Amino acid sequence: MSQEQTVFSQILQFISYDDFYVCVRRYGGNKGIRRFSCWEQFLAMAFAQLTYRESLRDIEVCLAAHQKHLYRSGFRSVVKRSTLADANENRDWRIYADFAHSLIKRARPLYVDTDLGLDLDGTVYALDATTIDLCLSLFPWAPFRYGHGGVKLHTMIDIQGSIPVFIDITHARVPDVLVLDKIVPQPGSYIVMDRGYIDFERLYRFNQAMAYFVIRAKGDLQFRRRESHPIDKSTGLRSDQTIALTGPKSSLRYPIPLRRVSYYSEEIDTRLVFLTNDFLLPALTVAAIYRQRWQVELFFKWIKQHLRIKRFFGTSPNSLKTQIWIAVAVYVLIAIIKKQLRLPQSLYTILQILSTTLFEKTPVQLVFQRYEEETHIGDDSKQLMLFDI
């Protein structure tokens, strides 16, 4: 890449402009717009995500400070906070949702060789939801509880690479289980869920679609044991059973046998019971698959800590969804850059490095090489330590 280009311009080259403009045309995003296109809106919001901006004024001031570099990055007009606020308010958030999905399609094959240590043929997905708290006086359309507002981010990630494949943004009051109606199961795949998603009619639909699920059972499950299978208790397993549901409703909603695996985890000193429709996997593998559910928890923690999805630049539903989807697009873009440049650093470290070097005119590979050299020198330093550890 040219040394005349800023780091910001270079990382934008990992984006397909054709894919972006397909999404813009699909929803008429640039219709009637003379200045500040959808692309410029995306650039400004992506800049805010990459550099931890706190407000529209913050974005305006910081971009103005680098005005001479903006044209090469794709900006054709001066970014004003009022213009950006209007764009977030009025331009269809689905433009950025569709664009994020196009990045996801590019990112997933890059991580297909990631070894999970599970020896499975099918893809493993983890499904969960997290609540984003909002100030009710600023977001009166999102009442939650006790005078607070909130929205819920329902997310299913591909465990290989922790890439989100499904996201649905709803009011915080929407029950988690309803999102199962919006998911199209992939035959042969495994979907890992917590017990909040127990709904046997919906789980039976997954089974009919030839998809597997691993879900934690509730304590009041009504069932009859049909068969017990041998286990090795030294591995933490406590039972491996074929069962039939006996509840008056559950037995009708899931009329075929289920597998029930009980496992004791020494790490958390808790006995866990799982239900699955896969009768061929080793019981210990069922427990190992459920352990992968924590990847989606780590995903939520990462984006809340390192991207701007807790403090919003607008108060309308459209503005909020636009900001969240652009944040997801930035997350996936970093994941693509990590693989295509073969960077050894974590996503967090990559984001931190980019946040301080966006307008440097240095080849992006050299930026990360310089980081490795400087940290290596720091590790080999003979400077005295304050504490002898």
| pTM for this model (two decimals) | 0.90
On the question of pLDDT at 206 being above 50, the answer is: yes
DSSP class of residue 330?
H
Contacts of 302 (CB under 8 A, 6+ apart): 331, 347, 348
Q: What is the mean pLDDT of residues 317-327?
A: 96
Q: What is the mean pLDDT of residues 202-229?
A: 94
The string of pLDDT tens digits covering residues 273-284 is 999 999 999 999
**Which is nearest to 99 in space by CA: 287, 333, 318?**
333
The string of pLDDT tens digits covering residues 15-73 is 999 999 999 999 998 998 888 999 999 999 999 999 988 899 999 999 988 888 887 77
Which two three-digit tokens encode residue 60?
A: 């305006």
**Which is nearest to 189 in space by CA: 130, 269, 125, 129?**
125
Contacts of 246 (CB under 8 A, 6+ apart): 222, 223, 224
Confidence of residue 384 (pLDDT cuts 50, 70, 90): very low
Report domain extents, the chain: 7-99+314-379, 195-280
Strand partners, 223: 245
Helix or strand or coil: residue 34?
coil
Cα–Cα distance measured from residue 294 to residue 110, given in angstroms and rounded to the nearest whole number:
22
Q: What is the mean pLDDT of residues 142-146?
A: 87
User: Percentage of the chain surpassing pLDDT 70?
Assistant: 96
Side chain identity at residue 151, one-letter code: V
Confidence of residue 116 (pLDDT cuts 50, 70, 90): confident
On the question of pLDDT at 389 being above 80, the answer is: no
Phi, then psi, of 317 in degrees rounded to 5: -60, -40
Phi, then psi, of 258 in degrees rounded to 5: -125, 165
Q: What pLDDT shows up at residue 388?
A: 41
Q: Compute the chain's Rg from CA coordinates.
A: 24
Burial 301-317 (b: 16+ CB within 10 A, else e): ebbeebbbbeebbbbbe
Question: 145 and 297 in contact (C-beta within 8 Å)?
Answer: no
**Helix, strand, coil in percent for the chain, rounding step 5:** 45, 20, 35
Side chain identity at residue 309, one-letter code: I
The string of pLDDT tens digits covering residues 79-89 is 899 999 999 99
Q: What pLDDT shows up at residue 70?
A: 83
Strand partners, 143: 149
